[in-house]
Homo-oligomer: A and B are copies of this chain.
Amino acid sequence: MFVFGGIKIKYKKKQPISALKDGDKVDDVFVVKIKKTMSSYAKGFFFQLILSDSSGKTLDYRYWGSQDEKKVRSLYDSIKSDSVVHVQGKVSIYNKKLQLATNEPFIIEPLKEEEYDKADFIKPARKDIDDMYTELKAAIDDVKNPDIKKLLENIFNEPAMEAKFKTHPGAIEIHHNWVGGLLEHTLEVLKYSLLSFDLFPVLNKDLLIAGALLHDIGKLDELEVTSRIKGSDSGQLIGHIVLSTIFVSNKMDKLGLDNNLKNKLLHIIVSHHGKTEYGSPKQPMFPEAVVIHYADEMSSKIAEITEFIKNSIEDTEDNFMYHRRKQHNIYLK
C-alpha cells in the first residue's frame, strides 16, 4: 500500500515468478518462503531468502548490504518467514538458475497485512462467491424444523460470519485450498446430502442441511490465512472437529434448543471423519451422520485427485505420478 495522490493503494502483484527472465528489473511483491542466514562479503553484509508467490514457483534472492552490520541485521530481523515483501532488484543467472538481487539504493521491505492483497498469494476462488452464498442461504430457507432454521439463520445471517465464510479456504493444501474453498466444499457436501435424501426419503432432510453447513465450521478457527494458509495453534492442538463442536454447542445453548437435536447435530460433526483413525472420536451412529461423512469424503477426495492431476501433468510426461500421502501412483492419462 502506498500513498498516491493522497490515496492509499495496496501493492499488487505485477507478474508471476514464472514470467521472470535474465536481466529483468523488478519492483514487485513476493512472499518469503524460507529465510536463510546473514553473512559478510567483500563489501559488507548480505543475506539470502527464497521467495515465492501464488504461482507456486520459488526464486533465490540475495540482498547485498553495506558495511553497516547493524543496519543490515535490523533489516534482516524485520523480515520473517511468511512475510510479504516489496522488492526492488534485478534478475540475473547464477549457477544456471535465476536469482533476484537487491543493491542499494534499491530496497526490500516487509509489508503489513493491509498493504498487500492476500489474493495475490492464495489461489483465487473457482466459482462466484456471492452465488454460492446465495445457494447456501436458499438451503436454510428450505429447512422446515424451526429450531434448526433458527440456529442456521443465527449463524449464517451474521455479517461477520458471512464475510469470513465467503473467503475462507477449505484446507491447507490437499483440497479446496483457495479463496472461498470452504464455502465451495460446504455446498458440495450439501448437494451429495440432498441427493441422498432423494434416494433415501427416510432421512431427515433438515438435519442433513444443518450437518452439511456446520460440519467444518471450526475450520474458520483451524486455518489462519496470512500470506499462506496455515494451521492456527488451536487448529493444531484441538482440531476443527472439536472446534466446530464447541462453536455449535455454544450457539445451541444460547438459543435454548432441544437437547436431542443438539446431541444429533454434535454427533454428526464429531463423527464426520468416519473413523477414529482419521480423528473422529466417534463413528457415525445414525444415517444422517453416515451421509455427511461420505458426502465430505466425495467432495474432498475428488477435489484432491483432480487437483493433483492438474498439477502433475505440468511436471511430467510420464503416465503415472507417485502420490506421497496416498502412497500409491496416480494415473495421469
User: How many copies of the polypeptide does the oligomer hold?
Assistant: 6
**Residues of chain B lying within 8 A (CB to CB) of residue A192:** 192, 195, 298
CA distance A277 to B277 in the complex (A): 5
Contact between A285 and B233, CB atoms less than 8 A apart = no
- Does chain B have a CB within 8 A of A328? yes
Contact between A263 and B286, CB atoms less than 8 A apart = no
Contact between B328 and A202, CB atoms less than 8 A apart = no
Partner of A242, one of B242, B277, B290, B328: B242
Contact between A202 and B294, CB atoms less than 8 A apart = no
Given the contacts A246-B245, A298-B291, A199 and B195 also touching, CB distance less than 8 Å: no
Q: A-side binding surface: helix, strand, loop or mixed?
A: helix
- Does chain B have a CB within 8 A of A1? no
* Interface residue stretch chosen among A102-110, A111-119, A163-171, A299-307: A299-307
**Residues of chain B lying within 8 A (CB to CB) of residue A157:** none
* Interface residue stretch chosen among A8-16, A130-138, A264-272: A264-272
Interface string of A197-210 (1 = CB under 8 A from B): 01110110000000
Task: Report the interface size for chain A: residues with CB under 8 A from the other chain.
Answer: 71
- Does chain B have a CB within 8 A of A124? no
Q: In chain A between 259 and 292, which residues have their CB closer than 8 angstroms to a CB of chain B? A: 259-260, 263-264, 266-267, 270, 276-287, 290-291
Partner of A281, one of B281, B287, B302, B331: B281
CA distance A250 to B253 in the complex (A): 11
CA distance A278 to B279 in the complex (A): 10
CA distance A257 to B171 in the complex (A): 29
Given the contacts A276-B278, A280-B281, A237 and B250 also touching, CB distance less than 8 Å: no
Given the contacts A264-B237, A270-B239, A281-B242, A286 and B200 also touching, CB distance less than 8 Å: no
CA distance A245 to B253 in the complex (A): 15
Contact between B298 and A331, CB atoms less than 8 A apart = no
- Does chain B have a CB within 8 A of A57? no
Given the contacts A39-B96, A263-B234, A302-B290, A285 and B328 also touching, CB distance less than 8 Å: yes
- Does chain B have a CB within 8 A of A145? no
* Extra pairs beyond A236-B329, A286-B330 (20, CB < 8 Å): A200-B306, A203-B302, A233-B260, A234-B259, A234-B266, A236-B319, A237-B266, A237-B282, A237-B285, A242-B245, A242-B270, A245-B246, A246-B249, A282-B328, A283-B326, A285-B320, A285-B329, A285-B330, A290-B305, A291-B302
Contacts from A to B (Cβ < 8 Å): 39, 80-81, 96, 188, 191-192, 195-196, 198-200, 202-203, 233-234, 236-239, 241-242, 245-246, 249-250, 253, 259-260, 263-264, 266-267, 270, 276-287, 290-291, 294-295, 297-299, 301-303, 305-306, 309-310, 317-320, 326, 328-333
Of the A-B pairs whose beta carbons lie under 8 Å apart in the complex, a sample of 20, sorted by A's number, is A81-B318, A191-B195, A191-B198, A202-B306, A233-B319, A233-B333, A236-B320, A236-B329, A237-B285, A238-B263, A238-B266, A239-B282, A279-B282, A283-B326, A285-B320, A285-B329, A285-B330, A286-B330, A291-B298, A294-B302
